[in-house]
Amino acid sequence: MLLEKFYIVGGKKLTGTVTIAGAKNAALAILPAALLADSPCVIDNLPYIDDVIVLADILAEVGANVTLSKNGRAVVDGRPVSRYKAPHDMVKRLRASYYLLGVLLAKFGKAEIPFPGGCEIGARPIDQHIKGFEALGAKVDIEHGIIKARAEKLVGNEIYLDVVSVGATINIMLAAVKAEGPTIIVNAAKEPHVVDVANFLNSMGANVKGAGTDTIRIKGVEKLNGCEYTIIPDQIEAGTFMIAAAATGGDVVVSGVIPKHLESITAKLLEMGEEVIEGDDYVRVRGIAKPRRVNIKTLPYPGFPTDLQQPMTVLCSIAKGTSVIHESLFDHRFRHVEELRRMGANIKVEDRVAICEGVDFLTGAPVTATDLRAGAALIIAGLIAHGVTVIDNIHFIDRGYEKIEQKLMKLGADIRRLNDGESLLKVVSSNNTIG
Which residue numbers are catalytic? 119
> Cα–Cα distance between 366 and 324 in angstroms, integer?
26
Could you tell me the smallest distance in angstroms from the CB atom of residue 104 to ligand EPZ? 18
For ligand EPZ, the closer CB: 14 or 29: 29
For ligand EPZ, the closer CB: 105 or 329: 329
Residue nearest to ligand EPZ (CB): 167
Q: 92 to each of 49, 57, 140, 145, how far by Cα in Å?
A: 17, 13, 20, 11
Could you tell me the smallest distance in angstroms from the CB atom of residue 99 to ligand EPZ? 8
Could you tell me the smallest distance in angstroms from the CB atom of residue 22 to ligand EPZ? 13
What is the per-residue burial (b if ≥16 Cβ within 10 Å, else e) of 15-49?
eeebebbbbbbbbbbbbbbbbbbeebbebebbbbb
For ligand EPZ, the closer CB: 303 or 366: 303
Identify the sign of the CA torsion 52, 404, 72, 279: positive
Could you tell me the smallest distance in angstroms from the CB atom of residue 338 to ligand EPZ? 19
- Residue 108 in contact with residue 62, Cβ under 8 Å? no
Could you tell me the smallest distance in angstroms from the CB atom of residue 374 to ligand EPZ? 10
> Cα–Cα distance between 88 and 273 in angstroms, integer?
48
For ligand EPZ, the closer CB: 28 or 265: 28
For ligand EPZ, the closer CB: 351 or 420: 351
Interface with ligand EPZ (CB under 6 A): 24-25, 28, 96, 123-129, 163, 165-168, 189, 306-307, 329-330, 372-373, 400
For ligand EPZ, the closer CB: 167 or 344: 167
> Cα–Cα distance between 36 and 102 in angstroms, integer?
10
For ligand EPZ, the closer CB: 146 or 427: 146
Could you tell me the smallest distance in angstroms from the CB atom of residue 118 to ligand EPZ? 9
Could you tell me the smallest distance in angstroms from the CB atom of residue 121 to ligand EPZ? 6
